Amino acid sequence: MTIYRVYTTYHESSESGTIEYGFYSTLEKAKQRAKEVWIAQYPDCQYEKEESGSLYCHNGWDSVSIYVSSFELDTDIHKENCGYT
């Protein structure tokens, strides 16, 4: 079974992480949630979309993104992630 995660990442001088917007059973629901969040948070930035449903906007030196990622449940993995601030 595949689930879809909607989130954005952030990085500041003292911390980094993600802001989570939900987990969905279909890609269509995840894309809809990404659009709703985008309209609420970035109403002045016209987004471009990727096939995955992720949205992004480059505005001068800044860029903003809302990601849609898919995950397979009941799948064994061994993955190491490291972040720096």
Q: What is the pLDDT of residues 25-51, one digit of tens each?
A: 999 999 999 999 999 999 888 888 888
Phi, psi of 47 (to 5 degrees): -85, 155
| Domain positions in the chain | 2-72
* Amino acid type, 76: D
Entry pTM: 0.84
Grade residue 83 by pLDDT with cuts at 50, 70 and 90.
low
Which of 30, 42, 37 lies closest to 3, judged by CA?
30
Statement: residue 85 has pLDDT above 60: no
* Amino acid type, 43: P
CB atoms within 10 A of CB 24: 21
CB atoms within 10 A of CB 29: 15
For residue 30, what are its two tokens? 């995840």
